[in-house]
Amino acid sequence: MALQATFTVKIAATHTGGNAFADKFSPLIEKVQKLTNGTTANKADLIYVDERTVTTGANDDIDLAGSLSDAFGSTIAAAEIVAIMIINGPISGSANTTDLTLGAGANPFIGFLGATDTIGPIKPGGVFMLAAGDAAGIGSVTAGTGDIFRVANSSGASATYQIAIIARTA
């Protein structure tokens, strides 16, 4: 199997008004990163994409080193994470009503966080993405002691979210 991946982050806007210099301002900030198959800089060889549900006030602890399966049923055992994207909401249907928080927990993946640090809240409909195609990616996975990526749901209702993880085996 071989992996080719592209991640794109973009904000484009048009802001109109009047001043002495112009009537319109159209900023664009964008990053496109292409990854080819492999385990070095600007490469990846694993991808996990899923829609998952976490119950009210609970945690979804995702083991990055050996418990996930890819779309073809092969076990994913990540050594480095290149990109993570979370969307707080289902692919289709009604929107979530609760916030998600990422990180912390037992044996946490701490590539871009400390052992007790978290990111959030990610509001309903919100998006979180972090990516780095360089040789180190966004962090190393240590099987058994630093391999759990936690998605915590606040209280009030279950939350369905989308997740994509791009990784390397070495």
Q: What is the pLDDT of residues 10-51, one digit of tens each?
A: 999 999 988 777 788 899 999 999 999 999 999 999 999 999
Distance, CA of 157 to CA of 41 (rounded, Å): 41
Residue-level length of the chain: 170
Distance, CA of 43 to CA of 37 (rounded, Å): 5
How would DSSP label each residue in 80-117?
A: EEEEEEEESS-SSSSPP-S-EEE--SSSB--SSS-TT-
Q: What is the pLDDT of residues 68-98, one digit of tens each?
A: 999 999 999 999 999 999 999 999 878 899 9
Give all domains of the chain, ordered by start, each with its CATH number. Answer: 44-168 (2.60.120)
Burial 6-26 (b: 16+ CB within 10 A, else e): ebeeeeeeeeeeeeeeeeeee
**CA distances (Å), 164 to each of 28, 47, 58, 62, 94, in order?**
25, 7, 20, 12, 21
pTM, two decimal places: 0.92
